[in-house]
Amino acid sequence: MIEPTELQSYAGRPAAAGGRAPDPVNAPMIRHWCEAMGDANPAYAGPDAIAPPAMLQVWTMAGLSGHGSRSGAYDELLGRLDADGYASVVATDCEQEYLAPLRPGQRVLFESEIETVSPEKTTALGTGHFVTTRTELRAYDEAAGEKPEEARPVATHRFRILKFRPAAGEQPPRRSAEPGAGQSARQPTGQPKRGHGTGLRPRPVVNRDNEGFWQGVAEGELRFQRCTDCATPRFPWLPGCNACGSDAWSAEAASGEGTVYSQVVVHHPLPAAFAAPYSVALVELAEGVRVVSNVVGLAPDQVRIGLPVRLSLERCDDELTLPLFRPAGPDHLPVLRIPVTRTLIVAGAIATRDYQDVHHDAELARAKGAPDVFMNILTSNGLVGRYVTDWAGSGATILRIALRLGVPAYPGDELTFTGRVVDRVPGRSDPGAGGDGRTELTLAVVGSTARGAHVTAEVRLLADPSGGPA
Ligand code: ZN
């Protein structure tokens, strides 16, 4: 067994010394990456193109040939963990700060050190050690004849992996993957626990009094009734009018705008289909009726009475879609839904030069305990970058992306991105000090599948206060 003190001794030792990106920053790799991510930001094309910031790690990937710039210390550490049975590996966190944009023609140099090795931790995936590396990247303009000695700092990159021994036990059903434990070729093992979103939500009982409501949901609408005698709207669906007793009515589609009228956060008891804590809200629709539902896309403890919300038909599983609500308003980014196809996963892996078999070979992924291939962390990072600049516009400058992975994203999933502005500092980069007076925004972004959060990210960016979202 490797001793804890011995593990600690690896902290501060190099993980990659004298690293040099195999290719200069170049337009074809940028274009392939943008195509794979579906990122149409014009800032990444044309004569003044910059490289997408979220593409940072791609430049230093060794690709199909292996780990060209790794140090003896890093390989030795991973080897010792392997030998102790911590043979599986997952990427769990990625934190990038962008000091200057990269442009085609620049060559990236990097130095990486082992920052920390955690004591043994038990996670949903199994028991293991988190290994964090910190990389400093510099670049020089090779195309303009600059020398490596002239390289200037462009970014820092912190990356955390979990080297772990998979938990023993039977393979649970696919839906028991829990958030917060990283992406893995291994599913969390052992008995599915209650109250962690491990089961299916209850099925609705459809009868002749409410079938019009469920028909509406199937057609993408939230329908309420209106009495055709006294015009009183009503919800939930009932055979007669509470106001006048008439049984004549018509159905109308709600606009989807509403506000939280009352709400509770459920912590306990924990029904199997729900991941606690979660918000149960009474939403007052613009049309005047109130609907019991869930507010999603916001931490439950941040749901407040009076919060503006918007209807969102959410796919809970393969058979069930429910009318839920998401925060509305200027501080909330529009929802982006991305179908996770096999093509997206493989194209993302190749465009990020990640040839780990679990991202392209379903048979090998299954041999490692996953139900199928799954999305790599560099693609998740790229999609976060795309989501925020789709909203903030091509004039925005991303300063930092810090993300944590939760449940894996498999073919057939749908990734639903939501985001909101959590902090806004005007004139952060002072024009007098060489800045341009734009507003610095901090965004909280979540990309979820039907099984929970796949990626949780904090993004800092500069945006123009005179236009767009800022
Ligand atoms: Zn009536």
Dist. CA 207 → ligand 1 center (Å): 22
Distance, CA 243 to ligand 1 centroid (Å)?
Answer: 5
> Span 351-364, mean pLDDT?
94
CA of 249 to the centre of ligand 1 (A): 8
Q: pLDDT, tens digit, for every residue of 67-113?
A: 666 778 888 999 999 999 898 888 999 999 999 999 999 999 999 99
Last residue of a domain, one of 308, 329, 350: 329
Q: Does residue 457 lie in a domain region? A: no
Q: Do 134 and 21 share a structural domain?
A: yes
Query: Domain of 147: which CATH number?
Result: 3.10.129.10
Contact 447, 420 (CB under 8 A): no
Q: Are residues 108 and 48 in the same domain?
A: yes
**What digits encode the pLDDT tens for the residues 367-425?**
877 899 999 999 999 999 999 999 999 889 999 999 999 889 999 998 989 888 888 88
Question: Across residues 121-126, what is the average pLDDT?
Answer: 84
Domain of 273 in residue numbering reads as: 211-329
In this prediction, residue 432 carries a pLDDT of: 55
Residues 141 and 215 in one domain: no
Looking at residue 4, its pLDDT comes to 79
347 pLDDT band, cuts 50/70/90, is very high
Ligand 1 centroid to Cα of residue 431, in Å, is: 63
Q: What is the pLDDT of residues 170-210, one digit of tens each?
A: 343 333 333 333 444 333 333 333 344 567 888 999 999 99
| Centroid of ligand 1 to alpha carbon of 237 (angstroms) | 13
Claim to verify: residue 225 and residue 146 sit in the same structural domain? no
Three-class DSSP labels, the chain: CCCHHHHHCCCCCEEEEEEECCCCCCHHHHHHHHHHHCCCCHHHCCCCCCCCHHHHHHHHCCHHHCCCCECHHHHHHHHHHHHCCCCEEEEEEEEEEECCCCCCCEEEEEEEEEEEECCCEECCCEEEEEEEEEEEEEEEEHHHCCCHHHCEEEEEEEEEEEEEEECCCCCCCHHHCCCCCCCCCCCCCCCCCCCECCCCCCCCCCCCCCHHHHHHHHCCCCEEEEECCCCCEECCCCCCCCCCCCCCEEEEECCCEEEEEEEEEECCCCCCCCECCEEEEEEEECCCCEEEEEECCCCHHHCCCCCEEEEEEEECCCCCEEEEEEECCCCEEEEEEEECCHHHHHHHHHHCCCCCHHHCCHHHHHHCCCCCCCCCHHHHHHHHHHHHHHHHCCCCEEEEEEEEECCCCCCCCEEEEEEEEEEEECCCCCHHHCCCCCEEEEEEEEEEECCEEEEEEEEEEEECCCCCCC
Residue 6 has a pLDDT of: 86
Say yes or no to pLDDT of 435 above 90: no
On whether residue 373 sits in a domain, the answer given is no
CA 283 / ligand 1 centre spacing (Å): 22
Shared domain check, 56 and 109: yes
Q: Does residue 238 sit in the same domain as residue 322?
A: yes
Model pLDDT for residues 298-345, shown as the tens digit of each residue: 888 889 898 889 999 888 888 899 999 998 877 788 888 899 999 999
Same domain, 96 and 236: no
Tell me if 431 is assigned to some domain. Answer: no
pLDDT tens profile 50-60? 999 999 999 99
Output the pLDDT for position 327. 87
Q: Is there a single domain that holds both residue 142 and residue 4?
A: yes
Q: What is the pLDDT of residue 337?
A: 87
Distance 230 CA to ligand 1 centre (A): 4
Residues 206-255: tens digit of each pLDDT: 999 999 999 999 999 999 999 999 988 999 999 999 999 999 999 999 98
Q: Is the pLDDT of residue 279 over 70?
A: yes
In a domain, 30, yes or no: yes
Q: Are residues 130 and 226 in the same domain?
A: no
Pairing status of strand 106-117 against strand 14-20: antiparallel
Looking at the structure, do residues 136 and 261 belong to the same domain, yes or no? no
Could you say which of 140, 167, 194 is where a domain stops? 167
Rounded distance from Cα 252 to ligand 1 centre (Å): 15
Ligand 1: centre distance to CA 470 (Å): 46
Query: Domain boundary at 265, 297, 329, which?
Result: 329
The verdict on residue 460 lying in a domain is no
- 223 and 154 fall within a common domain: no
CATH number at residue 216: 2.40.50.840
Same domain as 156, residue 22? yes
Q: What is the mean pLDDT of residues 269-297?
A: 86
Average pLDDT of the residues of the chain: 86
Within a domain: residue 426?
Answer: no
Domain assignment of residue 356, yes or no: no
Please give the tally of structural domains in the chain.
2
**Domain contains 445:** no
